[in-house]
Structure 1
């Protein structure tokens, strides 16, 4: 068993893409991150941690981490790889903010990291990955989808901050930079019913698909179907742009959103755990 780190994102992607594409929906974040590292390296303040574990030339684990973000784990074919990953990260990273991966893998890594470093951990969120190939007809809310423009910047900043606090229970950071990135790339969308009432963002690309996230409706506009109609319309827009699939993640603690997205046509592909490590 051998762990190999990569300095070059393109070389890393060329090595791991076939492994990740077997479960494209589960690994849409990793694939989108590879795309961003290759095509938009200016978005990253420091070099990422990119590694694989191999047995007899076959990949058994893929690991990625960018600054201040949780470690991203793939499905792991041989759990002995987890100890090798943890040892290497302990040597290079010292402390980690958290880990995200398929449920068994994420839990095993969190336990191993705790044994190695003494950092305690807690489950922050149980996630479910979904994939959509065709949008189903749903009851339409009033209004229409439109691309966000510079004139929406202030409202998007407020909504991004509210989304992060509500959905992730985390103090928002780099909000203005994130909003400006979406405005520059044309990936922020607003559902407008005379006034802006909901938002969703196209958050990354894979070879065959597009991610959907940052779905948020202010409390005063909820219970009117705006969010589901917004996501359905954005998903249809992305399919019409040529993507074969759309992907999104939901919080398993929120049964309403899980039901809504399945009504739109999103199908379950797998579950993940998001653990945070605590500084004792």
Structure 2
């Protein structure tokens, strides 16, 4: 990106994914764990098309200083919350940069539903949004990002074995995708059938099967980007929980990711669910940073 050396630091917005990745790619890859959501979303947009998350046109942005160095980035895929990368690199500039972004997003179009970011960044942006629009924010879910250390599979493992989902599992994956969204109280990021197709295309879901061949749990994983993958979602139907299937399939998909060359294996948990947080820590996942999803008042 060519930048006027006299220009002040500012956000550059674009609807062109290629332009955004050219500008922001090195910055996102410099901290792949903290940018995992932006990396996986932009990778999906690149592979599956710009309207995979909804009918609205995506909007991308980078925050660069006078020297052109990118120090912040966001992705918005309507109708979903804006994904805002950490503003750590901005230091004391962060509130002013957040206020500028709030103004640009408010002018870009109505209906921004909220923000998803690390806790500190989300709070800074929420204050800026309220100052700019008069609209407050409420917490939807508090999350913790974990990174896999030493994988410790559950012992003993439940009966059965893991296998990668195939096209024959399409209907099951779509149904479980929607059941998972309902269980966590969130609107799905994409249509169930599209999600199933996208994951099957690269072997992105592992099933745990009972000895009779019945699938009893699943764990998804994003494509490897910048050396990292993220486990998501992990789902066991309500009537099959408490038998160790979720832990077994998470361990299996984590091991497969490591064996395939992932430098980092990540996952998010809901901090309101102590069971899952305890389980993943027993498997060897260690806390990285807390994140939050906020909704803006309508």
2:143 is matched with which residue?
127
- Alpha-carbon contact 1:49-1:66 (below 8 Å) kept: yes
1:82 is matched with which residue?
98
CA distance in 2, matches of 1:117, 1:85: 12
2:283 is matched with which residue?
264
Two-structure CA RMSD over aligned residues (Å): 2.0
SS, match of residue 32 in structure 1: helix
CA distance in 2, matches of 1:208, 1:252: 26
1:52 is matched with which residue?
62
CA distance in 2, matches of 1:47, 1:102: 24
Deviations 1:159-198 (A, max 9, x none): 1111101123447862222222222332122110121110
Cα deviation for residue 102 of structure 1 reads 1.2
What is the aligned counterpart of 1:113 among 115, 129, 139? 129
- Alpha-carbon contact 2:153-2:248 (below 8 Å) kept: no
1:180 counterpart = 2:200: no
Moved more, 206-215 or 33-42: 33-42
1:94 is matched with which residue?
110
- Alpha-carbon contact 1:33-1:204 (below 8 Å) kept: no
Deviations 1:129-186 (A, max 9, x none): 1112542232112111111123323322221111101123447862222222222332
Question: Which structure has the highest strand share of the two?
Answer: 1
1:278 counterpart = 2:276: no
What is the aligned counterpart of 1:247 among 266, 276, 280? 266
User: What stretches of structure 2 of length at least 5 have no aligned partner?
Assistant: 1-8
SS, match of residue 25 in structure 1: coil
Deviating beyond 4 angstroms after TM superposition, the runs of 4 or more aligned structure 1 residues are none
Moved more, 85-94 or 202-211: 202-211
Shift in alpha-carbon separation, 1:14–1:172, aligned structure 2, 3 A: closer
Query: TM-score normalized by structure 1?
Result: 0.92
- Alpha-carbon contact 1:25-1:130 (below 8 Å) kept: no
Cα deviation for residue 223 of structure 1 reads 0.9
Number of residue-to-residue matches in the alignment: 279
Query: TM-score normalized by structure 2?
Result: 0.86
User: What stretches of structure 1 of length at least 5 have no aligned partner?
Assistant: none
- Alpha-carbon contact 1:133-1:244 (below 8 Å) kept: no
1:146 is matched with which residue?
163
- Alpha-carbon contact 1:190-1:230 (below 8 Å) kept: yes
1:104 counterpart = 2:120: yes
